[in-house]
Amino acid sequence: MSTPVAAVDLGATSGRVMLGYVGHNELSIRPVARFPNTPVREAGGLHWNILELYRSVLAGLAAAAREEPGLGSIGIDTWAVDYALLRDGRMLGTPFHYRDGRTAAGVEATHAVVSARELYAANGLQHLPFNTLFQLAADRESGTLDGADRMLLIPDLLGYWLTGRQVAERTNASTTGLLHLSNREWDDALLQRVDLPRGILPELVDAGDRIAPLLPTMRTELGLARDIDLIAVGSHDTASAVVAVPATTSNFAYISCGTWGLVGVELEHPVITEAARAANFTNEGGVDGRVRFLHNVMGLWLLSESVRTWESDGLTIDLPALLDAAAAVTAPVAVFDANDPGLLAPGDMPSRIAQLCLRGGMPMPASMAEFVRSIIESLADAFAAAVRTASELSTQRVDVIHLVGGGSQNDLLCRLVADRAGLPVLAGPVEATAIGNVLIQSRTLGAVSGDLESLRAVVAESLPPLLYTPRTAPG
Ligand code: ADP
Ligand code: LRH
């Protein structure tokens, strides 16, 4: 009998608490709670609604404990880069959301002392204006950092509130830009150069480590009958999603497709060539010391933010029906640059896409269905290109693309990626992130053993992905 574990996974589309069960060659997972994760704007910027989320997480965990009194452990993942500042253990202000525009000042201040090339050599990260070091630099410039004695990434903040222990899990810490690529330790020299206080950074832990037992007060709050540990998982959601890719060959690329499309390959060693930097490929830290060599493509954010705009105009949108209508479009549609940085911020997405079409002399979508078709075609094009680039830059052969996450339910997208890449696409699991989270906890508890390949074999066996065969040869 497998021990049930609880996975907390906070994505941009929703937060969820899932119960997971892993045995020798079997895995299952089911949702216990799902709740919105909507940022809040106030005059000072765009923020996490962190206390409301924490309340929802506690309610979800309490429900998990009611359903499974023998709950074995808890693991937490969220999206990367964002953090809270604390002083004497208390949170200062409300964490910023990375889509807040404040980071430009941080990029400028940082690049004034360290060039983009030097940064890449040190941390191996693609340039994203919201990488934690730029956010922290912006906070220093604005005085927000004043008085802070600790920075905790969001999963580590929630973990601290549950256990009282302050740590930084390494896969997520790798997205800060403050870990050195050579040893994945905090980069003291870089911190000094960019004038960020070393003392705010906590001790590093690895996915699979036991962080600490829950505080007695939290145990009572959750109605848990016995002591259980918070276990460090790949607390960067993408790291957890890559753990759960049901690959049965080493020649695979992955697309972790939700709000973002994270497209790349898994490597043993980083690639920090000038070509990789120019292509804006990142070397994020994976579970078990692997390297996630990937590029951030804007992802289904383009669709969800368009839907949000249409809904705020008073329209009622049924996503599956809209995707069916997009699949039925036969007119040629614009393929715009899904990587355009102008698409990052919240706001009127259809107008921004229309501007891109206009500027590129491309056909303007004439209906909502054509808009959606144009978005999906553009994403598929960017995904296929990123797979090709990942393979070329890393010399890793790719025979199959695994598309995991919420986007794997998008039949049109999966089909178009296969066609544009000229490679088979294996779609699913939808909840790859939560599954990766569950697998690492279960391995620590001893319910399953082995390397990532063994864990992936369990996923492939229990949740076989759906095959999309390309109608074209490799491009
Ligand atoms: P995140 O972890 O970033 O919150 P998810 O992996 O949960 O993202 O994926 C969310 C995305 O999945 C949505 O933006 C939506 O485009 C897509 N999605 C959700 N449900 C469906 C569905 N029934 N059909 C097609 N796509 C879907
Ligand atoms: C995906 C993700 C991605 C990061 C972005 C901030 O949810 O974690 O890997 O680049 O959010």
How far apart, in whole angstroms, are the C-alpha atoms of residue 364 and residue 350? Answer: 11
Catalytic residue among 187, 237, 381, 419: 237
pLDDT, position 444: 98
Q: Shortest CA distance to 238 belongs to which of 143, 145, 171, 149?
A: 171
Is 194:114 a contact under the CB 8 Å cutoff?
yes
pLDDT, position 429: 98
Could you report the per-residue pLDDT of 133-146, keeping only the tens digit for each? Answer: 999 999 999 999 99
User: Does the CB atom of residue 37 touch ligand 1 within 6 A?
Assistant: no
pLDDT, position 455: 97
Helix (H, G, I), strand (E, B) or coil at 19: strand
The structure tokens 């601290």 sit at 160
Distances (CA, A) of 459 to 42, 208, 449: 42, 18, 13
Give the distance from CA 401 to its chain's centroid. Answer: 18
Of the pLDDT bands very low, low, confident and very high (cuts 50, 70, 90), residue 475 is low
Is 167:23 a contact under the CB 8 Å cutoff?
no
Distance 407 CA to ligand 1 centre (A): 5
Average of pLDDT values for 168-178? Answer: 98
Q: Who's near 440: CB < 8 A, 6+ residues apart? A: 75, 207, 208, 231, 232, 233, 234, 240, 243, 287
Could you report the per-residue pLDDT of 430-453, keeping only the tens digit for each? Answer: 999 999 999 999 999 999 999 999
Cα radius of gyration (the chain): 21
The structure tokens 């990052």 sit at 344
Please state the atom number of ligand 1 nearest to the C-alpha of residue 303.
Answer: 16
Is 78:37 a contact under the CB 8 Å cutoff?
no
pLDDT, position 472: 76
For helices 319-327 and 411-421, give the axis angle rounded to 10 degrees: 40
How far apart, in whole angstroms, are the C-alpha atoms of residue 139 and residue 158? Answer: 21
Of the pLDDT bands very low, low, confident and very high (cuts 50, 70, 90), residue 474 is low
Confidence check: pLDDT of 306 > 80: yes
Of the pLDDT bands very low, low, confident and very high (cuts 50, 70, 90), residue 273 is very high
pLDDT, position 217: 97
The pocket around ligand 2, CB under 6 angstroms, is made up of 79-81, 98, 236-238, 259-260, 262, 296
Please provide the distance, in angstroms rounded to a whole number, between the alpha carbons at the two ends of the chain: 47
Is 364:334 a contact under the CB 8 Å cutoff?
yes
How far apart, in whole angstroms, are the C-alpha atoms of residue 37 and residue 82? Answer: 14
H helix intervals, 114-195: 116-123, 132-142, 154-163, 170-173, 188-193
Closest ligand to 236 CA? 2
Distance 47 CA to ligand 2 centre (A): 16
User: Does the CB atom of residue 405 touch ligand 1 within 6 A?
Assistant: yes
The structure tokens 């383009």 sit at 302
Q: Shortest CA distance to 317 belongs to which of 305, 327, 329, 328?
A: 305
Residue 237 a catalytic site member: yes
How far apart, in whole angstroms, are the C-alpha atoms of residue 336 and residue 431? Answer: 29
Of the pLDDT bands very low, low, confident and very high (cuts 50, 70, 90), residue 24 is confident
Is 18:35 a contact under the CB 8 Å cutoff?
no
Of the pLDDT bands very low, low, confident and very high (cuts 50, 70, 90), residue 1 is low
Ligand 1: residue of 82, 259, 302, 324 to mutate (most ligand atoms within 8 A of CB) is 259
Q: Shortest CA distance to 171 belongs to which of 256, 261, 239, 120?
A: 239
Distances (CA, A) of 19 to 9, 138, 243, 463: 11, 38, 17, 16
pLDDT, position 329: 97
Count of Cβ atoms closer than 10 Å to residue 14 Cβ:
17
Q: Phi/psi at 472 (nearest 5 deg)?
A: -135, 165
Q: Shortest CA distance to 224 belongs to which of 74, 8, 75, 440?
A: 74
How far apart, in whole angstroms, are the C-alpha atoms of residue 32 and residue 59? Answer: 10
How far apart, in whole angstroms, are the C-alpha atoms of residue 183 and residue 5? Answer: 31
Q: Where is pLDDT greater, at 262 or 475?
A: 262
Sign of the C-alpha dihedral, residues 272, 277, 279, 282? Answer: positive
How far apart, in whole angstroms, are the C-alpha atoms of residue 404 and residue 426? Answer: 8
Containing 38, the helix (H) or strand (E) segment is none
Domains and CATH numbers, the chain: 5-236 (3.30.420.40), 247-428 (3.30.420.40)
Q: Who's near 36: CB < 8 A, 6+ residues apart? A: 14, 15
User: Does the CB atom of residue 234 touch ligand 1 within 6 A?
Assistant: no
Ligand 2, atom 7: nearest CA belongs to which residue? 79
pLDDT, position 59: 98
- Answer left, alpha or beta for residue 405, where phi above 0 means left and psi between -120 and 50 means alpha: left
Count of Cβ atoms closer than 10 Å to residue 153 Cβ:
26
Please state the atom number of ligand 2 nearest to the C-alpha of residue 256.
Answer: 1
Helix (H, G, I), strand (E, B) or coil at 198: helix
